[in-house]
Amino acid sequence: MNKKKILSLAVLAATSAMFSLAFVFMSASRTAELGIIRARFSIAPAASGETLLAIYPFGEVSAKTHSAPVKIIVGLERIHEESIDEIIADGVGFDDLLETMKDNAQKAVGEFILVVLALAAVGGAAGASIGRRIRLIEIILGAGIGLASAAALGAVVLTQYQLDAFRQPTYRGLITYAPEIVDNINRSVEGGRNLRKYVRDMAANMSSFYVELDRYSEKENAGRIRILHISDIHNNPLAGDFVKVLVKGLSPDLIMNTGDMTDMGTALELKLMDSLKGISKPHFFVSGNHDSPEVVEELKRDFGLRVLDGDIAVHGKLRIIGFGDPKGKVSFDAEVDPEETLEATGRIIEKLSKLKKKPDVLMVHNPEIGAAAAGLAPVVLSGHAHSISAERIGDSVLIVAGTTGAAGARYIESEEKPSYSAALITLHVDENGAFVFDHVDLIRMNQSTGEFMVERKFLPAPEEEFEGKEVSTEKEIQEAKK
C-alpha cells in the first residue's frame, strides 16, 4: 500500500471519527418518562468528566463520576404533580416508586445509547464523504469508524464511571439550600399519606367542634363577619386539605393570607398548591419574603387571589389594606439591611397615617412591621414567625397565623414538627356602624400526635369592664386524637 493510500485512509479515519463525535455531541438527546418525572438525556464535551443533574429552576447537582472528557447531562423537564397525589392516596411505597423509576431509567439509557450509536454512524459516514468522491465502501468504512469511535469513548466512560461520586455532590443554584429534603422524601410521602387521611376524617367532625366552641359566645352580633387567616404554607400540598376542612367546618366569610406560599420563589412550586384553587371564598393575599414577583403574578392569574400591595380592598363594608414583604421583591435568600426594613415600615405607617378613614384590617407578612403599625387599624394580621399567637397592642389586635403548611418540607427531619395552624377572627358591627374585634380562635393541628386544639381569645382593651373575668380567657375546647 503506497503512502498516498495510507494518508488517504488516515484522513478518512480522522474525519470520520471527528464528525461522528460532533454529530453525537450536537444532536444526541433523548426524552424519557421515568414515572413522576420527565427527563432528557444528553452529552457534551468537557475538560473533565462529570455527570450533571439539571433541575430547572432550582439549580444543578453534579459529581466527578469519570475522567473521560465527556459531560453526561440529565435534565429534569417536568414533575408530574398529578402523580404525587396518586402516590399519597394509593399508598405507593417509596421503594416501589424508586424501583419503577430505576427500570424506566435503564430502558431510557439503553435507547439513548442506540441514538448515540446511530448518530455516530451517520456522522462517520458524513466525515468519510468530505472532500472526496463518494464511494459506498468508504461511506461504510466511515460509518464503522464512527461507531467504533463512539463505542470506544463510551467504553472508557463506563469502565471509569463511579456512581458513588454522588455521595459528595456539588450543588449550584437554589437547590443548594435544600439537599436534606431529597434525603427525606420517603418519610415525607409516608407521613403525608397518614396526615391526609386524618385531615379528611376530621372534616366530618369540624362543624360539631365549632358549634361547641361557639357556646362560649352567646350574644348575637349584628353584622358579624368571620375571617379565616392563613399564612406560611411553604408549598406543602397537604395545606390545601387543611384549609378546605376549615372552610367547610367554620364557614368563614373570606380568607386572608399573609404570604410565603412558596419556599424558593418559583412558580413551579405553586403546582403543589392546585387544591387551593377550588375554594370558593374571597381570598386576599400579601406576599411574604419567599414569594417572588413571578409567584405573585401566578397567584393573580391562575389562583384568582386578590393580591394587595398598598391598595385598599373592600368586602361588603369591610375595608382591608395590605402590603407585600419588601424582601420578596429582591430574593428570599438575599440579605436585607435592617435599615431597609425600617424604611419600608416607615413608608407603610406614613401611608396609613394619611388615610382619611382607617382600614378595618391591615395585612403584612412580618409581625415586626405589624407591631410597628399598631393603632392604625383595629386588626393587624401577619405570618412569618411560624408560631400562632394573638395579642393586644394599644388599640389594635395583632394576630400571627403561625404556619398553615406546618412550615413545609424543611421540617421533615425536625423532632419538634410545627403544627398546622390558622386563626378564625370574628368581628361585629357596633352601634356606630364600625367593625369591632370580638374574638379570635387559634386553631392548631399537631402533625406528630394528631391532636386538634382550638383556643379562644377575647383580648379586650385595658380600659374595658369585663365583669370580673380575666383579660385573656384561654379555653381548650376540643382535643381529638387520631
As a whole number of angstroms, the longest Cα–Cα distance in the chain is 117
Q: Where are the alpha helices (DSSP H) in 321-466?
A: 338-354, 367-372
Are 156 and 225 in a shared domain? no
Are 64 and 171 in a shared domain? yes
Are 296 and 362 in a shared domain? yes
Distance in angstroms (rounded) separating the CA atoms of residues 274 and 237? 8
Are 172 and 267 in a shared domain? no
For the chain, counts of helices (H) and of strands (E): 10, 19
Are 211 and 328 in a shared domain? yes
CA angle in degrees (0–180, nearest 5) for 256-193-61: 85
Which among 439, 447, 401, 444 has a CA at the least distance from the CA of 423? 401
Q: Decide if 148 is inside a domain.
A: yes
Distance in angstroms (rounded) separating the CA atoms of residues 196 and 65? 40
Are 397 and 453 in a shared domain? yes
Are 273 and 173 in a shared domain? no
- Residue 336 pLDDT: 64
- Residue 312 pLDDT: 96
Are 409 and 263 in a shared domain? yes
SS3 372: helix
- Cell readout for 372 is 410597628
Phi-psi sector, 408: left (phi>0), alpha (psi -120 to 50), beta: left
Q: Which domain holds residue 53?
A: 3-177
User: Which residues are registered as beta bridge partners of 399?
Assistant: 381, 390
Q: Decide if 330 is inside a domain.
A: yes
- Residue 201 pLDDT: 62
Task: Kindly report the backbone phi and psi dihedral angles of residue 274, in degrees, each rounded to the nearest multiple of 5, phi listed first.
Answer: -55, -30
- Residue 47 pLDDT: 87
Q: Decide if 189 is inside a domain.
A: no
The answer to whether the CB of 340 falls within 8 A of the CB of 347 is no
CA angle in degrees (0–180, nearest 5) for 165-169-172: 150
Are 290 and 153 in a shared domain? no
pLDDT tens track, the chain, 482 positions: 577 778 888 888 899 899 999 999 988 888 888 777 788 889 999 988 999 888 766 678 889 999 999 999 988 877 665 555 555 555 555 556 667 777 787 888 888 889 999 999 999 999 888 877 778 888 999 899 999 999 999 999 989 989 888 778 887 765 665 444 444 444 444 455 555 666 666 555 555 566 555 654 544 555 799 999 999 999 888 888 889 888 988 889 999 999 999 988 888 788 878 889 889 899 999 999 999 999 999 999 999 999 999 999 999 999 999 999 988 877 666 566 688 788 889 999 999 999 999 999 999 999 999 999 999 999 999 999 999 999 999 999 999 999 999 988 666 555 667 889 999 999 999 888 899 999 999 999 887 776 778 898 999 987 654 444 443 433 343 444 33
- Residue 183 pLDDT: 45
Q: Decide if 196 is inside a domain.
A: no
Say which residue the cell 464511571 belongs to. 161
Which among 109, 179, 105 has a CA at the least distance from the CA of 409? 179
User: Measuring CA to CA, how many Å separate 417 from each of 89, 198, 238, 308, 409?
Assistant: 22, 17, 15, 31, 10
Q: How many domains does the chain have?
A: 2
- Residue 392 pLDDT: 96
DSSP per-residue string spanning 374-407: TTSSSEEEE-SSSSEEEEEETTEEEEEE--TTTT
- Residue 76 pLDDT: 80
Q: Decide if 477 is inside a domain.
A: no
For the packed helices 81-90 and 185-214, what is the interaxial angle rounded to 10 degrees?
80
Q: Decide if 287 is inside a domain.
A: yes
